[in-house]
Amino acid sequence: MTDVLILGGGAAGLMAAGAACAKGLHVTVVEHHPSGGGQKLLITGKGRCNVTSDSDVREFLPFVRHNGRFLYSSLYAFPPSAAMELFEQLGVPLKTERGRRVFPQSDRAADVLAALRDYARDAEFVRGSAEKLLLENGVCCGAVTDHGQKLRAKATILATGGISYPATGSDGSGYKLARQAGHTIVPPQPSLCSLVSPDPDCPRMMGLALRNVGLTLLCDGKPLFAEQGEALFTHFGLSGPLVLSASTYIEDITKHRYICEFDLKPALDEKTLYDRITRDFAAQGGQSVQGAIAKLLPNSMRPVAVQRWGINPATRAAQVTREQKQALVQLIKHWQVPVTALGDKEHAVITAGGVDVKEVDPKTMQSKLCPGLYFAGEVLDVDARTGGYNLQIAWSTAQAAVRGIE
C-alpha cells in the first residue's frame, strides 16, 4: 500500500510526485515510456521549455481557452510566481523574455526535466501502464498495471496527459480509466496545432515565414481572434506561433467556414499603403509589376500575389490604374487562406477536451464521482494558448491534487 499512486510521469505527474514526497508521503509513479517520464517537456518551447508565464492570475486567465473559471482556486494557491520560485530552488535559474515567457537561463529543457526528476527522487517508479482502476464500493483504491500488478493506494492521481504528440507517451489511456470511474470525456482534439488548407497557393509558398503580420481568424465571416506575430506557409497549409494560437479558437471545423486573413502590412493603414505603392510604382515605372512589388512582399509570394491580383505580370508599374492599386491594397491587407481541418495530433502541442471539469472539485482536483481519484494536467478539459500557460496549468493542478490528499 502506497500513500499516493500517480498514473503518468509527465509534467503534471512529476510535479505531483515531488510535491507529495515533500509532504513526507510514500509515492509510486507508473510511467510507460521506455526513456522515462517527461519526454514532452523536452520538446516544449523548441527544446528550451517555456516553464510558465510571468503574470498574475488575473492576467493569466484570459489566455485559458476552455474552463478558465475552474482554475481559479488552483492558480491562486500555486500561481506562476510560486512555480518560478520552486524551479529556482530546484537549481534552475530562470529568465523572462518577450511576452512574459519564462525559460531556463540555460535554454535547455533537459534542465527542467532533470530538476523535476530530482524533486520526485524519493518516489518509486514502476515501468508500465495502468490497465484499470481498482474500484471498491465506489472508491478508487489504486490501479492494476498492464503486467497484472495490483498497486493499492490511499489516493490515485490520474496524470496521463492527452492525445497530442503520442511519440512522447501521450496515448489517451487516461480517458478510458476516467470513464471506468463514471466520468464524462469531452471529445479530445488537437490544439495549438497547424491548420490544413485546400488553398493551392500554400505549397507554392512552402517554407515562407511571415514576420510581424496580423492574423484574423474568421468564423462564418465573424472575427474570433486577431493578433500580430509570425506565421509559416507549409505544404499542407499554415503553421507558426500565430496560427497555433488561432487554432485554439476553432471549435467544430466541419460545421463552420473558417478563414485565416493576413494583414501583410499591419503598420500601415490602407491610405498610407496606397500612397506608398503609388510612390514605388512612380519611381519604378518601367519595371514589371512583379518587380515593382519587390519591396512590399517576399520573393516567393510575389508571383502568387500577382496572380491573385489578377493583373498581367508583364504590365509596367507606370501603367497600373488607380483601381488596380486599390485592389493591391485590399489584397495585401486582407490575404485570405481558407482552413478546412486541424493539423494532426502527432504534432499538436496540446489536447483540447478531456475529463469534464464539472465532475471534478476545483480546489482539490478530486473526482466528485469517485472518492480517492484525483486529476492533474492535460487529461482535464482545460487548455490555453502558447506562452507557458499550459505547463503552469499542469503545475497548479498537480499541486492542488496533492494539497487535496488528506
Taking the CA of residue 185 as centre, how many other CA atoms within 13 Å lie in the half-sphere pointing to its CB?
19
Residue 113 has pLDDT above 90, yes or no: yes
Residue 401 has pLDDT above 90, yes or no: yes
Taking the CA of residue 381 as centre, how many other CA atoms within 13 Å lie in the half-sphere pointing to its CB?
19
Residue 14 has pLDDT above 90, yes or no: yes
Per-residue pLDDT, 406: 78
Residue 145 has pLDDT above 90, yes or no: yes
What would the mean pLDDT of 226-243 be, rounded to a whole number? 95
Percentage of the chain exceeding pLDDT 70:
99
pLDDT of 259-303, one tens digit each?
999 999 999 999 999 999 999 999 988 899 999 999 999 999 999
Percentage of the chain exceeding pLDDT 90:
86
Reduced to 3 states, what is the DSSP secondary structure of residue 14? helix
**Alpha carbon of 130 to those of 16, 29, 42, 337, 395: distances in Å?**
17, 10, 24, 43, 22
> What is the residue-wise DSSP string for 138-187?
TEEEEEEETT--EEEEEEEEE----SSSGGGT--SHHHHHHHHTT--EEE
Residue 20 has pLDDT above 80, yes or no: yes
Per-residue pLDDT, 186: 95
pLDDT of 360-383, one tens digit each?
999 999 999 999 999 999 999 999
Reduced to 3 states, what is the DSSP secondary structure of residue 260? strand
Q: Domains of the chain by range and CATH?
A: 2-191+349-404 (3.50.50.60), 194-343 (no CATH)
Per-residue pLDDT, 165: 66
Burial 242-275 (b: 16+ CB within 10 A, else e): bbbbbbbebeebeeeebbbbbbbbeebeeeebbe
C-alpha–C-alpha distance, residues 174 and 198, integer Å = 34
Between 169 and 264, residue with greater pLDDT: 264
Per-residue pLDDT, 35: 87
Q: Find how far residue 191's CA is from the centre of its chain.
A: 6
C-alpha–C-alpha distance, residues 278 and 288, integer Å = 14
Residue 22 has pLDDT above 80, yes or no: yes
Residue 347 has pLDDT above 90, yes or no: no
Per-residue pLDDT, 169: 67
Give 43's pLDDT tier (boundaries 50, 70, 90).
confident
Give 351's pLDDT tier (boundaries 50, 70, 90).
confident
Per-residue pLDDT, 348: 74
Contacts of 246 (CB under 8 A, 6+ apart): 195, 215, 217, 224, 225, 227, 260
What would the mean pLDDT of 198-222 be, rounded to a whole number? 97
Per-residue pLDDT, 251: 86
- What is the identity of the amino acid at 347? H
**Alpha carbon of 278 to those of 137, 284, 339: distances in Å?**
78, 10, 33
Residue 175 has pLDDT above 90, yes or no: yes
**Alpha carbon of 42 to those of 113, 163, 173: distances in Å?**
7, 17, 21
Residue 75 has pLDDT above 80, yes or no: yes
Grid cell, residue 139, equals 472508491
Per-residue pLDDT, 164: 77
Q: Quote the pTM value.
A: 0.87
* Count of positions (residues) in the chain: 406
What would the mean pLDDT of 184-212 be, rounded to a whole number? 95
Give 45's pLDDT tier (boundaries 50, 70, 90).
confident
Per-residue pLDDT, 234: 96
What would the mean pLDDT of 34-42 be, rounded to a whole number? 89
